[in-house]
Structure 1
Amino acid sequence: MNHLNKLLDEYIVFLRVEKGLSRNSQNSYNIDLSRFIQFLENYSIDDYDSLESDVILKYFTLLKNLELSNRTIGRNFSALRGFFKYLSSNDYITSNPLAKFKPPKIEKKLPVVLTQNEIEKILQGPNVKTILGLRDRAMLEFSYATGTRVSELINIKKTDLFFSDGIVRVLGKGSKERFIPIGSHAIRWTEEYLVKSRIVLIKQSKSGNFLFLNNRGSKLTRMGFWKIFKSYIEKTNIKKSVHPHSIRHSFATHLLEGGADLRSVQELLGHSDISTTQIYTHIDREFLKEVHKTFHPRG
C-alpha cells in the first residue's frame, strides 16, 4: 500500500469515528477518493504536497469526459475538499491545492415530486390482506408521514416509536437525533402491521428490534425498499422518473403547499443547512403559478 492510500484509509477512519458517517457515506468517499488516487498514479504523483491545481483541473475534465452527472462530479469535488482540509489541518501537506480552485458549476435539478393524488394511489396499492402487503402499506404510510430518508426509515426500531405522544425518533446523518410528528393514519397502519404482519415475519429470523422486515424476517435494505416502492409506481402506471427519495421530496413539497414555514420543514427533514431545504420552495412556486394560471380570471 502506497503513502496516498494509507492517508486515505486514515481519513476514512476519521470520517467513521469523528464525524459519525454511515457505512454508505464512507463507501462513497472511499470510491471517489480512490479514483482520484488512481488518476494521480497515472501521473506518477505519490505525494500530495507536490500536487498542483492544473492536475486537479485535468481530473475534473476527465470526469466530465466520462459523462458523469453534474451531481456525481460535485460529490467528487466535495470529497476532495474535505480530504485536503483534513490533510492540511493534520500537517500532511504544507499548502492546500484546492484553496484557490473554483468548484465545477453544478446545475441544480428540481427533485421529482408526486402529487397528492399520486401518493394516494401508491398508498392504496398494497394488498393489505397479505402479510407483505400490510407491511408495504404501513411502510409507505410511515415514509410519507415522516419524510425520512430511506437510510433512516430502514434503521428505525420499535423502541423509536412513541405513538402515544404522536412522535418518532430518527437517527439522521452524522448520528444526529431528531423527533418527528407522525399522523394518525400512519400510526394505525403501523400498529396493524406490528400485530398482524411483523409478528409473523420475525419468527423466521432474529432481526433484533428493527421495525420493517423483509420476507425472511431480516432488516429491510435500501434496495429492498426501492424494489417495493418501484413495484407500486409501476402498478399505478405513474410515468414520472421516480427514485427512492421521491416520497421524501413529496412530503416536503406538500407541507410547503399547505402553508408550512421553511424552518419547520428544515427541522422535519433533518437538514443542517436551510439552503438545502430551499430547493423545495422552487417547486412550491411552480405549484402556485399553476394554481394562479388555473383559477385566476386573468391567469
Structure 2
Amino acid sequence: MNDRDLPDGLERALGRYLQHLTVERGLSRNTLTSYRRDLSRYLAFLAGHRHVADPRDIATDDVRDFVQYLARPTDDGGCGLSTRSVARGVVSVRGLHKFWLLEGLTDQDPADSVTPPSAGERLPKALPVETVTRILEAPDRSTPGGLRDAALLEFLYSTGARISEAVGVDRDDLSADFDQPSGPAAQGDEPGPGGVARLKGKGGKERLVPVGSYAREAISSYVVRTRPLFASKGRGTPALFLNARGGRLTRQGAWLVLKQAAERANVVDELSPHTLRHSFATHLIEGGADIRVVQELLGHSSLTTTQIYTKVTADTLREVFLTSHPRALG
C-alpha cells in the first residue's frame, strides 16, 4: 500500500505535513523523498494491520507496534531494518504527530513517549591518505570519461562535498578566479588567488568552499577537453559534471564512478557514498585544522555532528600508541 491507497483522512493529513516540510522548512527533494517513504510505510501499516482510517484513531500502542514491525525480521512478517533505519523511522513519525497536534488534526500525541532504539555510536569510515591517492589516480585520464571521473573524484575529496552536492554544481558555481594558481604570489609572501566553489547543501543552504590545486587542474582539463564533447550530445545544461549523453551526472552515476575507481585501485575497504567526505574531514583534523573550520567546510549546522571526527582521530592516536610505545601494554 502506498500513500495513494491510504484512507482519505490519513492521505490528506500526510499531505499537509509534507507540504509543511516543503514550504515552511524548505527541505531538499532527497530528504522529502525519505520522509514520504518512511511515513507512507507507517500509515500503510496502521491502515492495513490496525485498520486505522483517521489520525485521531492512532494510539501509543499503534506506534510501538509499528516500531516492532520495522525491527522484526522479514520472515516473521516485519521489515528487518537496521537499528539506525528504525531510529530514523521513529524520528519521522514523531515529527508527523507533533505537527498534527499543533495543527489541531489530533488532540493528543501518541508518539510522544515512543523513543528511537539506541543505534550506538557509528564512527565514519575514513581511508588513509595513501589509499585516497590511489583512488584519485585510478581513472584513465587519456579518455574523455576518465578525465571526467578524475575531476569529480578530486572535487569530492578537495571540498568534502556530499555526492548530491557535487553533481548539483553548475559551471557558474565556480568562482571567476577558479583557473588561477594558488600559493605564494610571484612578488612577496602574500598567498595568490585560488578558486572556490558554491555548494547547495541540505535545506537549500549554500556555502562557499575552497578547491585545491589538484582538483582545479583536473576540472580545468575536463572542462576544456571532455565537457564540450559530452555537452554536444545533450540539450544544454548548466551542470558542471555531465554524463556521456550530455545530461547532468546523477548521484547514482557519481557513486558508480567512485566504486569503479576503487576497484581499479585494488581498494578492498568498505566504501560508502560519503567515503571521500569522511576522509576529507578526518585528514583535515589530523593535520591540525580547527574543528569549527571543518564544520563550516562540511556544512554541518551543529558542531556536535562534526565532533565525531575528533573521536576517529583519538582512536587512531590510541592505536598508534598501543602498538608503538614499549610500555603501553603489559
Q: Secondary structure at the match of 1:60?
A: helix
Deviation at 1:204, TM superposition (A): 0.7
Unaligned runs of 5+ in 2: 1-6, 73-78, 179-192
Write out per-residue CA displacement over residues 96-138 of structure 1, whole angstroms, 9 at most, x where no aligned residue. 1122222222223212211100000001101111111011111
Would you say 1:293 and 2:322 are equivalent positions? Answer: yes
The offset of 1:275, in angstroms, is 1.6
Look up the match of 1:256: 285
Q: Is the 8 A contact 1:22 1:173 kept in 2?
A: yes
- Which of residues 143, 152, 157 is equivalent to 1:139? 152
Q: Which residue of 1 aligns with 2:222?
A: 193
Q: State the Cα deviation string for residues 248-286 of structure 1 (Å, max 9, x = none).
A: 111111111111122111111111112211221221112
Q: Could you say what secondary structure the match of 1:239 adopts?
A: coil
TM-score (norm 1): 0.95
| Alignment TM-score, normalising by the size of structure 2 | 0.87
Does the alignment pair 1:210 with 2:210?
no
Q: Larger helix proportion, structure 1 or 2? A: 1
Contact 1:112/1:240 (<8 A) preserved: no
Return the index of the structure with the highest Cα Rg: 2
Aligned length: 299
Match of 1:26 among 29, 32, 37: 32
Q: Residue 51 of structure 1 is aligned with which of 54, 58, 73?
A: 58
Preserved contact between residue 13 and residue 55 of structure 2 (Cα < 8 Å): no
- Partner SS for 1:204: coil
Check conservation: 1:157, 1:209, Cα contact below 8 A: yes
Does residue 60 of the first structure (1) align with residue 58 of the second (2)?
A: no
Give every structure 1 segment of 4 or more consecutive aligned residues whose post-TM-superposition deviation is greater than 3 Å: 293-299
Letter in 2 for 1:145: S
Q: How does 1:162-201 map to 2 (within 5 A)?
A: 162=175, 163=178, 165-201=194-230
The structural deviation recorded for 1:293 is 3.4
Give CA-to-partner distance per residue, 1:223-259, whole Å, 9 cap, x none.
Answer: 1011111111111121211011111111111111111
User: How many Å separate the matches in 1 of 2:271 and 2:205?
Assistant: 27
- Match of 1:9? 15
SS of 1:199's partner is helix
Partner residue, 1:85: 98
**What does 1:206-245 align with in structure 2 at a 5 Å threshold?**
206-245=235-274
**Per the alignment, in what secondary structure is the counterpart of residue 78 of structure 1?**
helix
User: Taking every aligned residue pair, what percent have the same amino acid on both sides?
Assistant: 41
Q: What's the counterpart of residue 70 of structure 1?
A: 83
CA RMSD, Structure 1 to Structure 2 (Å): 1.5
Separation (CA, whole Å) in 1 of partners of 2:29 and 2:206: 17
Q: Secondary structure at the match of 1:210?
A: coil
The code of the aligned residue for 2:15 comes to: D
